[in-house]
Structure 1
Amino acid sequence: MSSRIQFDTATLTWAELFSNGRLYAVPRFQRNYAWGEDEWLDLWNDLCRAVDERTVHYLGTVVLQERDDHRFEVIDGQQRLVTLTTLALAVIDAILTRAEQADAEDRSSDEERARLLRDRFVSFKDPASLHERARLRLNANDDGFYRTYLLERKSPRNPAKLDGSEKKLWAAFEYFRKRVNERFAQKSTSDLASFVDRASQSTVLIRIGVQDELSAYTVFETLNARGLELTTTDLLKNYIFSLCASSETDLSLAQDQWQRIVNLVGLEDVPEFLYHFALSLGRTPTKHRLFQEVKSLIRNREEAFERLEDLQDAATWYVAAADPNDSLWSEFDGVRPYLRALRLFRADLFKALLLACRQGIRDRSVDAAHLLRLLAFTTFRAVVIGRTNTANVLRGYQAAIQRTRLAQRWTVKSLFAEMRELYPSDEEFRAQFAITRLEGRQKAKLARYILAEIEAEAGYGARDFDDGSLSLEHILPENPGRDWSHFTRDDVERDVYRLGNLALLEPSLNREVGSGGFDAKRAAYARSSVGLTREISAEEWTPESIRQRQDRLSELAARRFRVDFGSA
């Protein structure tokens, strides 16, 4: 297949877009109608301004894939086209409502105006079959309601009970009907028809025609980076469903399974999940080529169902990776502390390796706690303290993933060997730890975690960093008073957020000492249940005291966060 992206562009008015018998179809599995009052108001104001000031309004782009002569699939831009058509229907309804109250001659003229507008923008009568053909077909969920009510000028029995996009479609029609009636209350039906005619000539869209889904994806990604997530999801969903559409049973099964995946992961997070899933299979996707990478894994109906099953299983693990309390972990001892740590570190790339290892964890050939300890401690050393860049972290994980795919037997130890370049030595770690600063409220929880882990390593017992029983104390206060005049302004700026200046302390004692002097603080520290805090017993607290304490903490941290699984 050629790697060239083939497309053509043209600038068309709304009127030209719907001319020459062109028919448009939103793919049946595309997103439902989603615009709301903010978008309707913007469109209405823009069209009115364009008509009143005789200016041109740029409405954006539509990405179309030609299926055959005069028939196009709307890859992107369906929200605009549906809304424009709904506006046209509201004007047609206003004309016909007046026709019903007019005399015979005016009624005939009004009905003719409505028919001409309908032919141009909404639907026309096929000369061969004499059946009405809609110029725009909506997706599978919305089209039935659109045809039954909006096209037929029927009101649903109870609009309040409409669901989701059906409610939005009806609300859009009602919104434009109200606006039209307000603007044209004292105007004629000729003015109504003229408004649509002039608006359709003043509204300009850029039509981008593409030959395949990959081209559509690439074009849309370039035009609208914010739409990348939903577009990746929509294109993959459409592609999978198209492979399963030869039978209603297959299609229904595929739809159900896809929905279970979306329900597990959440619609907005599907692209991120797919990225980690592709990584877990040894692929090297970029987020800009995600659709191509995943599509290449699915070539036919059989592979579509196999991959859907695999995706659903992977989704279960992916979601559990972010939740230490997920029921999936109930059968694996010792994993929750490491999952809590990874969540605290805001780590994501580890999920790809976890997905690659899930079968080994499930059949107990790999110890889940050992694996998650490797992932948590490597992340802590390399990323949290070492600040290794994402590209190097990714390379380390990809090497480990390849080991799971190519080796007949692999262990946590062999994965560690693949990731060794990512893992700082004790000497490197201590040097970086000794200068670490954790500034701001967002880092307070991380500081409590580190100090609680070091507390355990020092032999004082386990403490929960996040149960509310311990607060974070700044020995040199963040806003020091006269008792701290021996610290210069530069000293305070450099040292106040260093780990050597931080301690765990009961909230009641923390409130008691406040920003007072060191003598009062030291007396409170002696009453603390936290061993490392009781150790703070120097005669005075100086920049050198902070440096020495941080050096001691770095020695303990190097032992606590060391990866050494032996033959694991």
Structure 2
Amino acid sequence: MSITKSQKEKIGSIFNGNRFIIPAYQRKYSWTDTERKALWQDIEESIKDNMNHFIGTLSFKENKAVGLSTDTLYEIIDGQQRITSLFILLKVLIDKIQDEATKKSQIDAFIGSKDNLKLQPQGVDGEFLSKLFFDFENIQVAEINKRSHNFMYSAKLLFSAFVNALKPNEIEDRIIFIRDRIEVLVFNVESQAQAVKMFSIINDRGLPLRILDKTKSILMLYSTVHLGEQLNSQINDDFEKIFDSYDDILVSRDKLGILGRLEENTIFTQHYYSAKRLFPGTWNNKDGAETIFKNLKTRCEELKNIPNELKEFINNYLLDFRNFAVSYSNLVKEIETNSIYQKPFRYLEFTATLYPLIVRLYMQKKLNSLLPLLEAIEVRVYKLRGTNPIADIYWLSSVISESELTVDEIKKHLINYSEKFVSNHVFRTYLDSEIYGNGSVKYIISEFTKDIFDIETYNDFQVEHIFSREPNYDVSSYGFAEDYDYEKNRLGNLGILESSLNKGLGNLPPINKVSGYLNSVVSDTRNLAGEIQKGNFRKENVDERRKLIIDFCIERFKLS
């Protein structure tokens, strides 16, 4: 069936006699179980109510058929998330048909073959979808390292769970319903320029499209309409690397337990914050993702009638963004294997504000030399003081990206930055005050012990009050006055202890905590047990301990 410029069609008519490719400028499959469950429920309710189900508008562009194929070939401009989900569901249903001849005829008509699917994503996504359909048993879940593959795999598992509960006649009913009673409004465009423009317009009107897809589509639009498609191939290739880098970051993030709030907007905005030179008239370190996207469009619009400058801008943006994303991915992967990255990235955990700078330093192979200083800044400024200054860091990130500053020059900027917010005097003052609940405490005490802990052990530690938060004894007999609520939360009265040990100590006096402390893997906690057991452990002891830890911190997290 040939699809006309605009018509209402059934899903069965669309797939019968046609093949579809998902072009490189399209977003990858990203529907979650939430959307897939909603699709299944819509189908079930429509069958129950004996009604057709309309799933919206699909947009295609007809391509020339390859070789002797009798099928018409179309690019999907809009609607691939719905089409891909229905395609996977239809295959799951057809696989449950008991009669082999009927099953084969349905697969031939609506699914295609292993090497020639009716729906074909580009590149490795197409290979994975084919394997999902025809070689599912040999997929190693642990080896799935792309987000789109995880989503496709999850779709098959979800639909299989729903379909397994159906009887043979119910399976047939649902195949017929999808084929004959799910309706779409179809648009068929004629040219590549029209296709790219339609994709950009459809997905730039408040519809839920991810920021990287929108960025790619707008660059494709200006390349197609104003540069005669000169950069289309480069845009596709570079964004493939950007998408893959982002997927790799997500895999490493989940594995390492870091970067909890990272999303696509994060790498998009962090790149922008460190790329001031690309947006000379509009760059602002407070811009959010949507404003940054508008700045990108504005820049392209300003240059659209100056082809050479437009081409140069898009080239520079692509090159810088691709290198930033790939380096970001490589850095996060290296955190697992590089011993010097373990503590600052996984135990302390750098604040997101520092990542544009960290990635730029990594790109220039200067990160390792400056890592101790960045760690000190994280402890002093972001954790201990609890502030999140961005202007100076984003400015420095951009300066580094456009000029080859030496390590010593960058170090000078960083020291000045830290002293501006937390000098040694201010650092000592913060350390000497009420500190319980601060994000730096566990890391500081862990470093003070000089022990080496694996990440699982470290994460299990809790900050423990030596003299209890809610004591069931008279604290004045230990030298504390009426200001105990303040004194109990100072650094000298705090230690770290495994959660299982801490659970049984409650509000006991220190002498009754000795046996628990002795069972700890933390040498400082065990030493505390010995000091307490010695007798006469009082406020003076925790005061002395506080001074020791503060002196340690001044040296351990020094600005040099």
Question: Could you say what secondary structure the match of 2:182 adopts?
Answer: helix
Counterpart residue type for residue 52 of structure 1: K
CA contact (8 A) 2:466 2:495 kept: yes
For 1:437 and 1:275, locate their aligned partners in 2 and report how far apart those are by CA, in whole Å: 33
Question: Could you say what secondary structure the match of 2:412 adopts?
Answer: helix
**How much does 1:502 deviate?**
0.9
Matching of residue 400 in structure 1 with residue 384 in structure 2: no
**How much does 1:36 deviate?**
8.9
The alpha-carbon distance between structure 1 residues 149 and 515, as it changes in their structure 2 partners (threshold 3 A), is closer
Pick the aligned partner of 2:344 from 341, 344, 347. 341
Aligned 1:340-489 pairs, distance under 5 A: 340-347=343-350, 348-358=352-362, 361=365, 368-369=368-369, 371-389=370-388, 392=389, 394-405=390-401, 409-410=405-406, 411-416=409-414, 419-420=417-418, 423-439=421-437, 446-453=440-447, 455=448, 463-464=450-451, 466=453, 473-478=464-469, 480-482=471-473
For 2:93 and 2:496, locate their aligned partners in 1 and report how far apart those are by CA, in whole Å: 69
**How much does 1:428 deviate?**
3.4
For 1:65 and 1:100, locate their aligned partners in 2 and report how far apart those are by CA, in whole Å: 30
Counterpart residue type for residue 169 of structure 2: E
For 1:360 and 1:525, locate their aligned partners in 2 and report how far apart those are by CA, in whole Å: 46
For 1:289 and 1:539, locate their aligned partners in 2 and report how far apart those are by CA, in whole Å: 63
Counterpart residue type for residue 551 of structure 2: L
The alpha-carbon distance between structure 1 residues 63 and 423, as it changes in their structure 2 partners (threshold 3 A), is farther
For 1:149 and 1:507, locate their aligned partners in 2 and report how far apart those are by CA, in whole Å: 43
Aligned 1:519-530 pairs, distance under 5 A: 530=524
Spell out, residue by residue over 1:282-333, the C-alpha distance to the aligned partner (whole angstroms, 9 max, x if none): 465634466778998986789867865665455433543x44x42xx7xxxx
Counterpart residue type for residue 426 of structure 2: E
Please give the root-mean-square deviation of Cα atoms over the aligned residues, in Å: 6.6
CA contact (8 A) 1:28 1:139 kept: yes
Spell out, residue by residue over 1:374-419, the C-alpha distance to the aligned partner (whole angstroms, 9 max, x if none): 2111221111111113xx2x21211222443566644134322662
For 1:507 and 1:87, locate their aligned partners in 2 and report how far apart those are by CA, in whole Å: 46
Counterpart residue type for residue 346 of structure 1: E
For 1:505 and 1:47, locate their aligned partners in 2 and report how far apart those are by CA, in whole Å: 54
The alpha-carbon distance between structure 1 residues 551 and 292, as it changes in their structure 2 partners (threshold 3 A), is same
CA contact (8 A) 2:353 2:393 kept: yes
User: Which runs of no fewer than 5 residues in structure 2 stay unpaired?
Assistant: 1-5, 64-71, 189-194, 224-228, 254-261, 301-310
Alignment partner, residue 160 of structure 1: 137
Spell out, residue by residue over 1:63-115, the C-alpha distance to the aligned partner (whole angstroms, 9 max, x if none): 858799x99854664232234456678999999979989xxxxxxxxx9xx9x
Matching of residue 46 in structure 1 with residue 32 in structure 2: no
Q: Which of these two proteins has the greater Rg computed from alpha carbons?
A: 1
Alignment partner, residue 80 of structure 2: 78
Spell out, residue by residue over 1:458-494, the C-alpha distance to the aligned partner (whole angstroms, 9 max, x if none): xxxx712636799965211356334658799x97776
The alpha-carbon distance between structure 1 residues 231 and 502, as it changes in their structure 2 partners (threshold 3 A), is same
For 1:35 and 1:509, locate their aligned partners in 2 and report how far apart those are by CA, in whole Å: 44
CA contact (8 A) 2:19 2:74 kept: yes
- Percent identity, please: 17
Spell out, residue by residue over 1:408-454, the C-alpha distance to the aligned partner (whole angstroms, 9 max, x if none): 644134322662575323443344334444349xx6xx53431355x
For 2:414 and 2:316, locate their aligned partners in 1 and report how far apart those are by CA, in whole Å: 36
CA contact (8 A) 1:385 1:436 kept: no
The alpha-carbon distance between structure 1 residues 236 and 529, as it changes in their structure 2 partners (threshold 3 A), is same
Matching of residue 265 in structure 1 with residue 263 in structure 2: no
For 1:522 and 1:76, locate their aligned partners in 2 and report how far apart those are by CA, in whole Å: 67
CA contact (8 A) 2:9 2:186 kept: yes
For 1:27 and 1:14, locate their aligned partners in 2 and report how far apart those are by CA, in whole Å: 23
The alpha-carbon distance between structure 1 residues 168 and 529, as it changes in their structure 2 partners (threshold 3 A), is closer
For 2:268 and 2:357, locate their aligned partners in 1 and report how far apart those are by CA, in whole Å: 13
The alpha-carbon distance between structure 1 residues 279 and 179, as it changes in their structure 2 partners (threshold 3 A), is same
CA contact (8 A) 2:462 2:497 kept: yes
CA contact (8 A) 1:12 1:205 kept: yes
For 2:154 and 2:462, locate their aligned partners in 1 and report how far apart those are by CA, in whole Å: 49
For 2:126 and 2:118, locate their aligned partners in 1 and report how far apart those are by CA, in whole Å: 12
Matching of residue 517 in structure 1 with residue 512 in structure 2: no
For 1:94 and 1:438, locate their aligned partners in 2 and report how far apart those are by CA, in whole Å: 60
For 1:53 and 1:524, locate their aligned partners in 2 and report how far apart those are by CA, in whole Å: 65
Matching of residue 27 in structure 1 with residue 52 in structure 2: no
Aligned 1:227-238 pairs, distance under 5 A: 228=210, 231=213
The alpha-carbon distance between structure 1 residues 193 and 424, as it changes in their structure 2 partners (threshold 3 A), is closer
Spell out, residue by residue over 1:253-301, the C-alpha distance to the aligned partner (whole angstroms, 9 max, x if none): 8799668746753468683445444444446563446677899898678
Question: Could you say what secondary structure the match of 1:378 adopts?
Answer: helix
Alignment partner, residue 182 of structure 1: 169
Alignment partner, residue 211 of structure 1: 197
Question: Could you say what secondary structure the match of 1:481 adopts?
Answer: coil
The alpha-carbon distance between structure 1 residues 501 and 264, as it changes in their structure 2 partners (threshold 3 A), is same
Question: Could you say what secondary structure the match of 2:495 adopts?
Answer: strand
Counterpart residue type for residue 381 of structure 2: A
Q: Which moved more, 1:74-83 or 1:492-501?
A: 492-501
Question: Could you say what secondary structure the match of 1:349 adopts?
Answer: helix
Aligned 1:90-109 pairs, distance under 5 A: none
For 1:538 and 1:43, locate their aligned partners in 2 and report how far apart those are by CA, in whole Å: 69
Matching of residue 502 in structure 1 with residue 489 in structure 2: no
CA contact (8 A) 2:12 2:178 kept: no
Question: Could you say what secondary structure the match of 1:400 adopts?
Answer: helix
The alpha-carbon distance between structure 1 residues 549 and 501, as it changes in their structure 2 partners (threshold 3 A), is same
For 1:28 and 1:436, locate their aligned partners in 2 and report how far apart those are by CA, in whole Å: 56
For 2:98 and 2:511, locate their aligned partners in 1 and report how far apart those are by CA, in whole Å: 87
The alpha-carbon distance between structure 1 residues 553 and 260, as it changes in their structure 2 partners (threshold 3 A), is same
Pick the aligned partner of 1:317 from 331, 347, 350. 331
Alignment partner, residue 200 of structure 1: 182
For 2:419 and 2:554, locate their aligned partners in 1 and report how far apart those are by CA, in whole Å: 19
CA contact (8 A) 2:46 2:52 kept: yes
The alpha-carbon distance between structure 1 residues 409 and 45, as it changes in their structure 2 partners (threshold 3 A), is closer
CA contact (8 A) 1:318 1:351 kept: no
Counterpart residue type for residue 46 of structure 1: D
CA contact (8 A) 2:267 2:325 kept: no
Matched residue count: 474
User: Which runs of no fewer than 5 residues in structure 1 stay unpaired?
Assistant: 1-9, 102-110, 124-132, 151-155, 330-335, 456-461
Counterpart residue type for residue 353 of structure 1: L
CA contact (8 A) 2:23 2:121 kept: yes
CA contact (8 A) 1:396 1:419 kept: yes
CA contact (8 A) 1:233 1:270 kept: no
Alignment partner, residue 3 of structure 1: none
Counterpart residue type for residue 412 of structure 2: S
CA contact (8 A) 2:385 2:422 kept: yes
The alpha-carbon distance between structure 1 residues 386 and 308, as it changes in their structure 2 partners (threshold 3 A), is closer
Counterpart residue type for residue 249 of structure 2: V
TM-score, structure 1 as length reference: 0.57
The alpha-carbon distance between structure 1 residues 451 and 167, as it changes in their structure 2 partners (threshold 3 A), is closer
